[in-house]
């Protein structure tokens, strides 16, 4: 997660768990819903749509700004590559 979310983690977790509409800017980084992609960046407000409620969405990161979410995605992909020598982000997080 980015620094802003990390400093206010409980606040952001509670907002998401309460299913609040119009959460202040908060972006979830999830395993991609399309298996041909690596990760998705989704606004937490978008997660309230029925599609995401029914889908099995795995959140792997959170950021308070879209720009920070993009940077976090880059960091995750680089870290996965350094650790495994591959870009298979899904398998990396599924291995528990």
Query: Which pLDDT does position 82 carry in this prediction?
Result: 96
Is-contact 30 93, C-beta < 8 A?
no
Which residues in the chain show pLDDT less than 50?
Answer: none
pTM: 0.76
Q: Which residue has the tokens 């029914």?
A: 54
Query: Which pLDDT does position 74 carry in this prediction?
Result: 97
- Does the CA dihedral 2-71-22-40 come out positive or negative? negative
The C-alpha atoms of residue 63 and residue 95 are separated, in whole angstroms, by 23
- Quick: pLDDT tens for 61-71: 989 899 999 99
Query: Which pLDDT does position 85 carry in this prediction?
Result: 95
Query: Which pLDDT does position 25 carry in this prediction?
Result: 78
């Amino acid at each position: 997660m980015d620094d802003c979310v990390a400093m206010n983690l409980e606040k952001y977790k509670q907002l998401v768990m309460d299913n609040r509409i119009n959460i202040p800017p908060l972006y979830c980084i999830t395993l991609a819903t399309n298996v041909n992609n690596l990760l998705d960046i989704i606004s937490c407000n978008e997660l309230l749509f029925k599609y995401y409620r029914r889908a099995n969405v795995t959140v792997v990161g959170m950021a308070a700004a879209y720009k920070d979410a993009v940077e976090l995605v880059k960091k995750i992909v680089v870290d996965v590559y350094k650790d495994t020598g591959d870009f298979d982000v899904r398998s990396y997080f599924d291995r528990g």
